[in-house]
Amino acid sequence: MVLSSKRKGNHVARGVAAHRGHTRHAGHRLVVVIVSVALTLAACAGYTAADIYDVVPGMLTLRSASVRTYPDAASSIAAGTIAGEANRNVSVDAAKAEELINTLGQAGGVGSDFSVVIADANGNIVAQREADTEREPASTVKTLTAFAAASTLDMGGTLDTETYLTHADTNPTLVLKGHGDMLLGEGESDPNHINGRAGLATLAQSAAKALKERGVTHVALAVDDTLFGDDRTPDGIDQNNDGNLYYTPISSMAVDGGRDWSGLERSSQDAFTEYPVLSQHTAADAASTFKTLLAAEGIEVDDSDDISGTDATGPIAKVSSAPLNEVMAFMLRHSDNTLAQLFARLTALKLGTGNDTAADAQAVTQVLSEHDVPTQGLTLTSCSGLAPGTRLRVGTLLGVQQQLVSLKGGAAAAIEGMSVPGLTGTARYRVGSQGVRGLARLKTGSLSSVRALTGNVSREQGGLLLFAVIVNNPSDGSAANSAIDQFVAQLAQL
């Protein structure tokens, strides 16, 4: 379009006016910005000056600051040993030791059916009562099993739970295979606890990732629980397993030992005093949990019983338990009967004595004999002490304690989990006096007709004592426990 001369002139005039207006506005904005910046800088400079002269609070000052100085040390002292070795040669007053045994025998609830032995740290007996009588020892048997296992197994090793992909070209099958970790967690692996160190959720995540990398999103799930054969429960143990509170058959895998915490509370995964009902099919429970977790990771899962093919391929994912020394400490502190039998079975498999409960007992006895622990009169019907019919002499318990305080071989791992009065384990509240807190490492034993205790005691005046007490058929179990606690407290004063 072409403008006339007049209209064109008007249009140009309006454009020039508009340009001048924009120029005036831009100039005004520039002046405002310059003034604002100048005022801000002035304010900052003023506050900084006021801060320097301490008129207003701030970090700047003209005042001199004092610097603390320290003189050089006139002399230095080398660090010493926090705790040295126990003096094994402090003599023991045999007459006073005999007096303690007599006092125990006269205490209410103990009765006459009991054996006691007291020895120095080298195993030299200073006082005893019916030490050659075979008696039922209850859970003090776990000290035998712990020592045998710790002397045989790699206590820094772990128990792995693995998954294998088999028949990938025809019918992709994921085999869940356990190696004895009965303290699996349902969630992710927990490095801060023994119970739950290996988590099924972590295993499911790793397995699902490996499957997807292979283009597999639909598998059949099979469970390999064949590790421990068919004989997993000692004969007669049901007599002392009311309501399935104290034993579940050993298994290649279990979540939290099979414990059902419905309606119960615990302070942590590793510390509890309740006895929840124990599942009697722990491997199947673990597999069911794992199947659900796999599905949550986007893997479609069917059931299968075909566990073949794992020998032809390596695992595609695995999780590992806490080291065996930590698992053993957990076993001893909770007096876990199933884990005790599990340690005996692992020992039997390592030594080649067999894969049944008789082989478990044979393996434990064999290791004790190899380490010169007296086994005369020893009959093990279980390796936890729960099954009725186990018999031993207090000298066997004493011999194990002598091995433990020597800290040779696997002794350190076996002593680590023993209960400390006032601190940990089943003897935490078994304190005959305040003075014995922290001075003893003990293993308790309790059945309806048994009250037993064995361990080692640091003496208040120096030195170390070993002891074992077994009371069968007490007239009052609670009173017998109290009498034994007093006995231990007095041992510390010898």
Q: Are 220 and 130 in a shared domain?
A: no
Domain boundary among 279, 305, 322: 322
Q: Are 305 and 188 in a shared domain?
A: yes
1/15 Cα distance (integer angstroms)? 18
pLDDT bin (cut points 50, 70, 90) of residue 49 is low
Residue 13 pLDDT exceeds 50:
no
What are the beta bridge partners of residue 458? 464
pLDDT bin (cut points 50, 70, 90) of residue 12 is very low
Mean pLDDT of all residues in the chain? 89
160/320 Cα distance (integer angstroms)? 4
Q: Are 251 and 380 in a shared domain?
A: no
Closest CA to 473 of 241, 136, 141: 136
How large is the average pLDDT for residues 385-393? 98
64/308 Cα distance (integer angstroms)? 82
67/141 Cα distance (integer angstroms)? 65
Higher pLDDT, 80 or 182: 182
Number of domains within the chain: 3
Closest CA to 302 of 173, 164, 214: 173
Q: From residue 277, how far is each of 193, 240, 248, 319 by CA, in Å?
A: 22, 14, 9, 26
123-132, 267-276, 450-459: the lowest-pLDDT one: 267-276
The answer to the question of residue 79 being in a domain is: no
Q: What percent of the chain has pLDDT over 90?
A: 73
Q: Are 113 and 138 in a shared domain?
A: yes
Per-residue model confidence (pLDDT) at position 430:
87
Q: From residue 64, how far is each of 61, 67, 70, 71, 289 by CA, in Å?
A: 8, 10, 19, 22, 69
Q: Are 480 and 355 in a shared domain?
A: yes
Q: Are 439 and 454 in a shared domain?
A: yes
Per-residue model confidence (pLDDT) at position 68:
58
Higher pLDDT, 50 or 175: 175
3-state secondary structure of 49: helix
Could you list the residue range(s) of the whole structural domain that residue 239 is in?
Answer: 160-322
Q: Are 115 and 192 in a shared domain?
A: no
Higher pLDDT, 407 or 84: 407
152/233 Cα distance (integer angstroms)? 22
Q: Are 297 and 351 in a shared domain?
A: no
Q: What is the CATH number of the domain that holds 417?
A: 3.40.710.10
For 353-476, list the strands marked E by DSSP: 440-447, 450-458, 464-472
How large is the average pLDDT for residues 8-34? 52
pLDDT bin (cut points 50, 70, 90) of residue 116 is very high
The answer to the question of residue 86 being in a domain is: no
Give the best-scoring range by mean pLDDT among 48-52, 83-87, 132-136, 407-411: 132-136
How many CB atoms within 10 Å of residue 27?
Answer: 10
pTM of the model: 0.83
pLDDT bin (cut points 50, 70, 90) of residue 4 is very low
pLDDT bin (cut points 50, 70, 90) of residue 332 is very high
- Output the six-digit token pair for 338: 């199933």
Per-residue model confidence (pLDDT) at position 18:
46
The answer to the question of residue 6 being in a domain is: no
- Output the six-digit token pair for 409: 């071989």
Q: Are 331 and 473 in a shared domain?
A: yes
Q: Are 176 and 302 in a shared domain?
A: yes
The answer to the question of residue 7 being in a domain is: no
The answer to the question of residue 1 being in a domain is: no
Q: Are 387 and 283 in a shared domain?
A: no
Indicate the length of the chain as a whole number. 494
Residue 371 pLDDT exceeds 60:
yes
Q: Are 380 and 432 in a shared domain?
A: yes
